[in-house]
Amino acid sequence: MSELKLCQGTRCHTYHTQDRLKGSKDNKTIQTRRRSNFYYGNGNFCSLNCQNDWFSEYGTKAIDHFGRLTEPKHLTEDNAWHKGYDWRGSSDQSHLYYFINAITKERRTITEEQYDDRNYVLNTN
């Protein structure tokens, strides 16, 4: 049995839901959610609301702590390839698979196997 994690939402305990209400008859409190797994924010939050609460309170500090972006990042021709597909036609259920370069708009046809292969890339990094 895996250990239970607490939602990291700063206001999780302020949302009035039945599952957050804990304790015995005279000693009930509304508590931060505790689960084996959460689906938001890399498994740290019980809901998008809680993730947003955390970001509202700590997001700017976190960005400043880990390094604020001060220059735009660049995607070059060498790294602008992405996969796509077209329907071949109504009578034929297959697709036409390709790589397209977002900068040059060059298009290269690939096979379905290459399309499905996550390791098959044209980008240089």
For 21, the 3-state DSSP assignment is strand
What is the size of the binding site for Zn ion (CB under 5 A)?
A: 6
8 binds Zn ion (CB under 5 A): no
User: According to CB under 5 A, which residues from 41 to 80 bind Zn ion?
Assistant: 46, 50
**How far separated are the first and last CA of the chain, in Å rounded?**
39
Residue number, 10 or 101, with CB nearest to Zn ion:
10
7 binds Zn ion (CB under 5 A): yes
Closest CA to 109 of 119, 118, 100, 117: 100
Q: What would the two tokens of residue 70 be?
A: 């001060």
Site residues (vs Zn ion, CB under 5 A): 7, 9, 12, 33, 46, 50
